[in-house]
Amino acid sequence: MFDNDYFTEEELSCRCCGKLHFSNDTMRRLIRVRVRFNKPMVVTSGYRCPAHCAKIGSTMTHTTGQAVDVSVAGGRAYELLGIAIEEGFTGIGVKQHGPHGGRFLHLDDLEPIQGERTRPTVWSY
Ligand SMILES: [Zn+2]
């Protein structure tokens, strides 16, 4: 799965414990986006274990191995957003205020979960 030129196991692993469970389908989708984007995509968060999610107070989307946060801002964020939607990412989180270094897009391809928001969907932080 990680035999590719774009993403490393290290950047997709849980920041607290180094565990990594990542979906093959999501990885392939991410690579398709990266090839079309044709610029570096710095992943600030990939897989997160449940304990790490609880500690930082985030939703559990990252525990599925179907979600990444990509450091990106401004015009590049606009471009990446369009490509991600076209390639089938169904959950888009937008953090585009504050210093550019802290801006990112969350991309995931989760299926709709009963009782949760319908997908595709977009939200802001
Ligand atoms: Zn962890």
Counted domains in the chain: 1
Answer yes or no: are the C-beta atoms of 90 and 117 closer than 8 Å. Answer: no
pLDDT tens, position by position, for the chain (125 residues)? 677 889 999 999 999 999 999 999 999 999 999 999 999 999 999 999 999 999 998 888 999 999 999 999 999 999 999 999 999 999 999 999 999 999 999 999 998 766 666 789 999 99
Whether 3 is covered by a domain: the verdict is: no
- The model carries a pTM of 0.93
Whether 2 is covered by a domain: the verdict is: no
Whether 1 is covered by a domain: the verdict is: no
Whether 37 is covered by a domain: the verdict is: yes
- 54 CA distance to ligand 1 middle (Å): 10
- 63 CA distance to ligand 1 middle (Å): 9
Whether 41 is covered by a domain: the verdict is: yes
* Residue 120 neighbours by CB distance under 10 Å: 14
Task: Indicate which CATH number applies to the domain containing 15.
Answer: 3.30.1380.10
- 94 CA distance to ligand 1 middle (Å): 23
Whole domain around residue 14: which residue ranges?
9-124
Whether 76 is covered by a domain: the verdict is: yes
Whether 4 is covered by a domain: the verdict is: no
- 9 CA distance to ligand 1 middle (Å): 14
Answer yes or no: are the C-beta atoms of 17 and 11 closer than 8 Å. Answer: no
- 71 CA distance to ligand 1 middle (Å): 20
Structure tokens at 47: 């897989």
Whether 107 is covered by a domain: the verdict is: yes
